[in-house]
Amino acid sequence: MDYYQLESERLIFRKLTEQDISSWAEFFVNNDRLQFFNFDLSKSKEALAEEWIQIQLKRYQNNQFGHLAAELKSDGTFIGLAGILPREFKGKQEYEVAYSLKPAYWGKGYGTEMAKIMKNFGFKYLETPRLISMISFGNEASINVAKKNGMQLLFDAEFEGELLHIFGIKC
């Protein structure tokens, strides 16, 4: 299975490109969950979207997975990002199942669908004892997605200066 061409019931996944920046900027509009990210909100939404996508493009070049664009199968609409993110955490290599949706697509089950396809890929193709999701305190929507993805709260820890819940599931 090619990581960069995954599919779920309602979604297709593909590599991000620089052409996605303007569409991903929508993530930063009317999004009360931005408080859960470590963003410099003094920057424009376009600059924030470009930074996020450029990080993914570098990950692709280094064969480090990264976020993928999630599009609706029905019409190709770009609704969010999901992926497996390699993380150096507490001196160990971990793999994070990560997901973010544009606000217009919240509450429709897409986050859970995105997380499950990434979990299933990780179980099948990664040699790791577990998968994790790193979630900010108070981000109940992401906590619910992690739980629906079969994950349990493992512990709380600091990562890159932020205190996070670490959810996980054994492979």
For residues 135 and 62, which has the higher predicted lDDT (pLDDT)? Answer: 135
Whether 68 contacts 103, CB under 8 Å: no
Helices (H), the chain: 21-24, 45-61, 110-125, 140-148
Distance (Å, whole) CA 10 – CA 25: 23
Extract the tokens encoding 137.
């305190």
Diameter over CA atoms, the chain: 43
Q: What is the mean pLDDT of residues 49-72?
A: 94
Statement: residue 1 has pLDDT above 70 = no
Statement: residue 42 has pLDDT above 80 = yes
What pLDDT is recorded for position 91?
87
What pLDDT is recorded for position 64?
85
Average confidence score pLDDT of the chain: 94
**3-state class of 37 per DSSP?**
coil
Q: What is the mean pLDDT of residues 55-79?
A: 95
Whether 115 contacts 97, CB under 8 Å: yes
* Rg of the chain, C-alpha, whole Å: 15
Residues 6+ away with beta carbon under 8 Å from 120:
none
Whether 94 contacts 128, CB under 8 Å: yes
Statement: residue 19 has pLDDT above 90 = yes
Which CATH topology does 3-170 take?
Answer: Aminopeptidase (3.40.630)
What pLDDT is recorded for position 161?
84
Query: Any idea where the domains of the chain sit in the sequence?
Result: 3-170
